[in-house]
Structure 1
Amino acid sequence: MNILVVGASKGLGRALIEGLGNAGDTLIGVSRTRPEGLLSDAGRQLRWVEANLMDPVKAAHDIAQSVADDGLDTLIYNLGIWEEFAFGPAYEFLETADDELQAIIGCNITSTLLLIKRLLPLLLKSPQPRIILTGSTSGLPQSGRPEVAFGASKFALRGIADSLREGYRQQRLAVTCLNLGYLNTEDALSTPRDLAQQRGEGHLVPVHDVVEAVRMILSLSSASYVKELTLPAILDERF
């Protein structure tokens, strides 16, 4: 299986690139620069594509070119940015700069669409094509969050997933949207999960749990798929 992870240099993306795949699989990471010290499994092949999705047209072209020869089975789009003062008391929509709003929409929506458009012909050649979009609980109705641009972009991901499933159902394209709550990205996958789950005292989801959920999705047969998966922290009162 060839798995492409976009936004793989740190946090959840790095955990996915380190934690997914089995012997014989190829993991392809995408970020502006390749990180140091990645965990490596001798049974998996690890490749890297340096691309900046803030320039979505060039990035989409370069990424598609880099995987064209070997094929692609799974695209995991794990890239997203948010307002400077998001998730804190200083956030105010009316104070958000216009260029910041444009950047959020460009990175979180435009880049997603352009890359999927470039990679879809290649994915559909796979016997079991999959797309996994990293969304957020901020993209769910009554999420309890006021961040307008970030919330709008995560709502958009759910729309993208729905439309792709309808458009390519006969080609058996499986599209999953992960609605993730607040994550503990300070503890890497190398940190024992028993320790990582203690950070946030029940208000943060360890990246280990997200990796396990994605591994489950990738283990399914071609006869089923996970439409949406909502994974909030156990003490998140919004859910």
Structure 2
Amino acid sequence: MSKNYIIFGASQGLGDAFVKGLPVEGDTVWIVSRTRPNSLDVNDGVNRRWLAIDLSSQQQIPYLKETMKDIAIDVLIYNVGVWEKRGFEDDYTFDLDEVEDIASLMNINLTSTITYVQALLPHLRQAENGKIIFIGSTAGLAHTGNAQVSFVTSKFGLRGITNALREHLRKDKISVTCINPGELAAEVPFEEGAETAIKLYEGTRIPVQDIVTIVQCVIQLSPVSCVKEINIPAMTDLNA
């Protein structure tokens, strides 16, 4: 039986890997992103549709609702997360983060997560085995040695969203899962394969294929089971 997916943050990296690696022939995928995804050009029997939405505001929620109308959604994957402008630079310090940038990060990573998912709950309730999967980060776990205050806060918050939403949807038998990967080899396109990513980063970054495989497992479970949270650091990451 064919499935309907909607994947947020799907124009590149891990989101692009989900769009290319999860659906099979006959499935439909709505791709939510600001920029046009190149996955629209893939010809593999999957119906891919682009929703050009900027998640920095809530203004396009009516457009999302109107576009989806009465369509049942089997799988919603929310793979969105921005971080501090210099968050991964050696000289990064929270002291220099701009107030406007902090507010924008929290809006995208938390407020938009709640509001856009809320808009799609009626569509998930129409599915026989609805799944919501949030992509978090090991930065949102305890004691991972990360000093990016706003990003870490937002990823802790995403776990809170997951837990509360799961309780809200328990009566509907819609499972809500948070997957927390460590550092990903997201720059290596999905079609180039896991071995390419492993070789390039000498096994220090997780191939996107590994996360796709985990999500496939969660999707295939019956409505009886609920995976609450999965943490997947790289083997070389001693802080996670």
**Deviation by residue 1:35-88 (Cα, 9 ceiling, x = unmatched):** 235563533211111110112x22222222222232212111111100011133
Judge which range, 194-203 or 122-131, deviates more: 194-203
Q: In the aligned structure 2, how far is the partner of 1:128 from the partner of 1:190?
A: 29
State TM-score, norm by structure 2. Answer: 0.94
Unaligned runs of 5+ in 1: none
**Deviation by residue 1:112-142 (Cα, 9 ceiling, x = unmatched):** 0110111112211211111111100000011
Unaligned runs of 5+ in 2: none
Normalized per residue, the structure richer in helix is 2
Q: In the aligned structure 2, how far is the partner of 1:145 from the partner of 1:103?
A: 20
* CA contact 2:5–2:29 (8 Å) conserved in 1: yes
1:198 Cα shift? 1.7
Q: In the aligned structure 1, how far is the partner of 2:55 from the partner of 2:33?
A: 8
Match of 2:220 in 1: 219
Identity, % of aligned pairs? 37
Judge which range, 39-48 or 83-92, deviates more: 39-48
Aligned residues: 238
* Cα root mean square deviation, aligned: 1.4
Match of 2:208 in 1: 207
Match of 2:153 in 1: 152
Match of 2:108 in 1: 107
State TM-score, norm by structure 1. Answer: 0.95
**Deviation by residue 1:175-219 (Cα, 9 ceiling, x = unmatched):** 010111001112111112212112222221111111111111111
Judge which range, 135-144 or 30-39, deviates more: 30-39
* CA contact 2:198–2:204 (8 Å) conserved in 1: no
Judge which range, 36-45 or 102-111, deviates more: 36-45
1:148 Cα shift? 0.4
* CA contact 2:70–2:123 (8 Å) conserved in 1: no
* CA contact 1:18–1:38 (8 Å) conserved in 2: no
Q: In the aligned structure 2, how far is the partner of 1:77 from the partner of 1:107?
A: 12
Amino acid at match of 2:32: V
Q: How does 1:140-219 map to 2 (within 5 A)?
A: 140-219=141-220
Match of 1:67 in 2: 68
SS in 2 for 1:170: helix
Relative to structure 1, is the Cα distance of residues 121 and 38 closer, same or farther in structure 2, using a 3 angstrom cutoff?
Answer: closer
Match of 1:36 in 2: 38
